[in-house]
């Protein structure tokens, strides 16, 4: 009787690379498995020839095969260590701790409003925050921060020209609206829009930040793909109203992030326009777009509901006047966004403790 490849790979999946939660099969370190009778051999590939884990990992492989395949298997001396020298690509946004994509399925559900106010609330809570307006076809961040006339300068950092983000209410930001007339951007072809996003990420002088929020266009598009190919996105949040049509599109957004080729965890959903309370009837809640639609969807999908934001006149006015409503911390709106910021912080901490960093999606040609 001979052993099967599956027996071998199953056993080697139990060998973890020290200091990570990944196993040597998942890391693609095992190649050329050969089985001849009781003899088992394979190549164990390391990135560097002086990896301090070579000896302990070889021993762990031998033990795993003897324990889980057959204690009479001839494995000792048959594992060949190989070193693969890889050229490390320079890291994009090396000093940014968390990159958060803010997405929505349907347009007009308040994704930019949530991104802007959330960014302000995170900054008010003491975080260093950046905001990239990747909603190339309808950039609204400049309007929401009263920065329509901002024209960022170039600064020279270590011999490289970088774009200095505009700063308002404690948030550093870049938007395509700073560089072109928004009406012009709407007629751009996909590659132009994707290049603009890459440039804002790679050539912005972002420095050290706790968070960069990326306000994406509605739906799923080339821009989403460009984003996950350009940077390792820590997690996504999906904004929706409680309305059926919006929820159906939100599901598509969730599937896109969690899909096998992308693998960006969805940290939670935000229900915007959850209800309306008129100033003269503060006890009343009117569920204009339906009640708890997002809450129920989040429960169904096993995703956290990070917040419910009501329809409030000051949110719309704040967006139109260039002063996000969350700037007023003591208002009902300010408190709702502070709560959302705290929940996001906790969700990001939990994600970072539980799972390995996201990997950038590799470009296949
Ligand atoms: N909770 C709210 N209360 C009151 N007005 C809101 C609220 N959320 C969003 N709005 C208003 O709704 C409009 C659309 O919001 P916003 O531009 O943020 O949507 P969006 O989803 O980013 O749209 P797009 O599809 O263009 O990206 C804006 O005028 C905004 O001020």
Q: What is the pLDDT of residue 365?
A: 44
Ligand 1 site residues, Cβ closer than 6 angstroms: 104, 107-113, 135, 138, 140, 218, 272-273, 309, 311-312, 315-316, 319
Which ligand 1 atom sits nearest the alpha carbon of residue 272?
A: 1
Is there a binding annotation on residue 293?
no
Q: Is 159 annotated as a binding residue?
A: no
CATH code assigned to 96-354: 3.40.50.300
Quick one: tokens of 277?
């309370």
Q: How far is the CA of 180 from the centre of ligand 1 (A)?
A: 22
Q: What sign does the dihedral 20-21-23-28 (CA atoms) show?
A: negative
For residue 49, which of 76, 95, 81, 10 has the smallest C-alpha distance? 81
Question: Among 118, 109, 148, 128, which Cα is nearest to 274's?
Answer: 109
Other Cβ atoms within 10 Å of 138 Cβ, number: 15
Given this model, what pLDDT does residue 25 score?
94
Predicted pLDDT at 174: 97
Question: How is residue 189 written in tokens?
Answer: 């072809």
Nearest Cα residue to atom 16 of ligand 1: 110
| Cα 361 to middle of ligand 1, angstroms | 30
Distance 277 CA to ligand 1 centre (A): 17
Q: What is the pTM (predicted TM-score) of this model? A: 0.78
Compute, in angstroms, the gap from residue 113 CA to the centroid of ligand 1: 5
- Of ligand 1's listed atoms, the one at least distance from the Cα of 316 is 31
Q: Is 290 left (phi over 0), alpha (psi -120 to 50) or beta?
A: left
The arrangement of strands across the sheet holding 30-36 comes to 30-36, 39-46, 79-83
In the block, residue with structure tokens 């599956």: 6
Which of 229-261 are b and which e, b meaning 16 or more Cβ less than 10 Å from the residue's Cβ?
ebbebbbbbbbbbbbeebbebbeebbebbeeee
- Separation of CA 95 from chain center: 15
Sketch the domain layout of the chain as residue ranges: 5-83, 96-354
Gyration radius (Cα) of the chain, Å: 25
The residues, ordered by sequence, that sit 6+ positions from 102 with a Cβ below 8 Å of its Cβ are 111, 114, 115, 118, 213, 214, 215, 216, 236, 237, 239
Can you name the CATH fold of 5-83?
GMP Synthetase; Chain A, domain 3 (3.30.300)
Per-residue pLDDT of the chain (365 residues; tens, 9 = 90+): 689 999 999 999 999 999 888 999 999 899 989 999 999 999 999 988 888 999 999 999 999 999 999 999 999 899 999 887 655 567 889 899 999 999 998 888 999 999 999 999 999 999 999 999 998 777 899 999 999 999 999 999 988 999 999 999 999 999 989 988 767 767 777 788 889 999 999 999 999 999 999 999 998 888 898 999 999 999 999 999 999 888 989 999 999 999 878 889 999 999 999 999 887 887 899 999 999 999 999 999 999 999 999 999 999 999 999 999 999 999 989 999 999 999 999 999 999 998 888 888 876 54
The confidence score (pLDDT) of residue 197 equals: 92
Separation between Cα atoms, residue 169 and residue 187, nearest integer Å: 31
- 9, 39, 98, 314, 354 from 304: Cα distances, Å: 35, 50, 18, 27, 15
What's residue 88's pLDDT?
58
Other residues' Cβ atoms within 10 Å of the Cβ of residue 41: 16
The answer to the question of whether 219 is labelled as a binding residue is no
Residue 75: phi and psi, rounded to 5, are -115, -35
Q: What is the pLDDT of residue 222?
A: 85
ipTM of the complex: 0.98
Neighbour count for residue 278 (Cβ, 10 Å)? 10
Q: Does 334 belong to an annotated binding site?
A: no
Tell which atom from ligand 1 comes closest to the C-alpha of 106: 25
261 annotated as a binding-site residue: no
Helices 190-202 and 222-230 sit at what angle, rounded to 10 degrees? 30
First to last CA, the chain: 43
Note every long-range contact of 342-347, with CB atoms under 8 Å and residues 24 or more positions apart, other chains counting.
342/125, 343/268, 343/304, 343/306, 343/307, 344/100, 344/118, 344/122, 344/237, 344/267, 344/268, 344/306, 345/122, 345/125, 345/127, 347/235, 347/267, 347/268, 347/304, 347/306
Residue 334 Cα, ligand 1 centroid: separation in angstroms? 16
């Amino acid at each position: 009787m001979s052993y099967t490849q599956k027996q071998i790979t199953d056993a080697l999946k139990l060998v973890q690379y020290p200091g990570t939660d990944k196993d040597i099969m998942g890391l693609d370190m095992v190649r050329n498995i050969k089985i001849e009778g009781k003899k088992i051999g394979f190549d164990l590939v390391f990135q560097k020839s002086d990896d301090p884990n070579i000896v302990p990992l070889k021993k762990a492989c031998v033990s795993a095969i003897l324990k889980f395949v057959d204690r009479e298997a001839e494995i000792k001396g048959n594992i060949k260590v190989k070193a693969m020298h890889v050229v490390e690509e320079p890291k994009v946004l090396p000093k940014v701790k968390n990159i958060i994509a803010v997405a929505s399925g349907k347009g007009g559900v308040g994704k930019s409003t949530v991104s802007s106010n959330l960014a302000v609330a995170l900054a008010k809570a003491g975080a260093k925050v950046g905001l990239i307006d990747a909603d190339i076809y309808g950039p609204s961040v400049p309007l929401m921060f009263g920065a329509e006339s901002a024209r960022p300068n170039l600064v020279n950092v270590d011999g490289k020209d970088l774009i200095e983000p505009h700063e308002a209410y404690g948030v550093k930001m870049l938007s395509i609206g700073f560089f072109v007339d928004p009406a012009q951007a709407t007629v751009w072809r996909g590659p132009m829009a994707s290049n603009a996003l890459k440039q804002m990420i790679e050539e912005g002088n972002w420095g050290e930040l706790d968070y960069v929020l990326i306000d994406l266009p509605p739906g799923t598009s080339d821009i989403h793909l460009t984003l996950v190919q350009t940077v390792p996105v820590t997690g996504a949040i999906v904004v929706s109203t409680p309305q059926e049509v919006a929820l159906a599109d939100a599901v598509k957004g969730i599937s896109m992030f969690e899909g096998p080729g992308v693998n960006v965890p969805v940290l939670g959903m935000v229900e915007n326009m959850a209800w309306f309370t008129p100033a003269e009837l503060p006890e009343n809640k009117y569920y204009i777009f339906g009640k708890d639609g997002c809450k129920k969807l989040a429960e169904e999908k096993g995703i956290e509901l990070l917040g419910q934001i009501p329809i409030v006149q000051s949110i719309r006015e704040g967006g139109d006047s260039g002063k996000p409503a969350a700037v007023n911390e003591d208002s009902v709106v300010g408190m709702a966004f502070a709560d959302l910021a705290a929940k996001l912080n906790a969700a990001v901490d939990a994600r970072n403790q539980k799972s390995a960093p996201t990997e950038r999606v590799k470009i296949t040609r």
